[in-house]
Each structure stands twice: as C-alpha cells, then as structure tokens.
Amino acid sequence: MRQALLYDPILHDEEVVAITQSSVSVLHYNEGCKRQLTCPTFVYMLHCSQTMYNHLLWANWNKTSLANVILLGNKLSSYHERLVSVHIRNIVTINSRSTTEQLRKQSYYIYKVS
C-alpha cells in the first residue's frame, strides 16, 4: 500500500490520532468524493448517498481514471431501482416506450454503470 487517505466527518480527535499512527492520512476537509484517481485505488463507501457515488464516478468518468476505481460499497443497481420507482410514481399518463426513454435521459449515467 502506497498511501491511504480517510475522510469521515464524524471522527473524534482520539480516532484521528489512532488512525494516523497506523500510517493512514486523515483528510481534514470534505472533497465531496470528487477526487480524480491517478492510480489503482480501493474506495470504501458503505451506506453512502447516491450523490457521493455520482461525484466519484463523474470525477473519474474516463477510461484511464475509471480503471483505477476499486469500489466496495452498496449495490449500485439499488439506486437505479429506487430512482426508476420514484420516476414511475411521478409519471401519470405516458406510454411505456416514452417512459423508458424519459428515464434513460434523466438517469443515463446510473443506467450505464449498473
């Protein structure tokens, strides 16, 4: 392991001391998951919001950077399924073909990933 970085908004001072003693660097500001990865990187994101996943993926949405993302997190298709169910509830009378097309336009980046 070359370098380990950690950001958690609820770390206590004692935890920061213990973490830094184990050769992990603690980030003291919120990058919003927008770090572009320049080398293979293990990203641990359990129970994070869809927004955080979106930021990470958009920041690395090219062949070089995306290949560096090794992600342990929630099942990404669950976000897509929830998004689809919300859109379907909000659509009153649209035929199934235009509904599918509308969903693809509004959530194409999630659709491509899952």
Q: Where are the alpha helices (DSSP H) in the chain?
A: 13-21, 50-59, 63-66, 76-90, 96-106, 108-113
In three-state secondary structure terms, 44 is strand
Q: What's the distance, CA 99 to chain centroid?
A: 26
Residue recorded with tokens 């509830």: 89
Q: What's the token pair of residue 24?
A: 């992990």
Element (H, E) at 73: strand 69-73
Q: Kindly state the average pLDDT of the residues 89-101.
A: 54
Range among 12-16, 83-87, 94-98 with highest mean pLDDT value: 12-16
In three-state secondary structure terms, 13 is helix
Residue recorded with tokens 């689809």: 84
Whether 73 contacts 45, CB under 8 Å: yes
Give me the helix-helix angle, 76-90 and 96-106, nearest 10°.
130
**How confident is the model over 31-89, as pLDDT tens digits?**
999 999 998 989 988 888 888 888 999 999 998 999 999 999 887 777 666 665 655 55
pTM above the 0.75 mark?
Answer: no
pLDDT at 93: 45
Q: Kindly state the average pLDDT of the residues 7-28.
A: 88
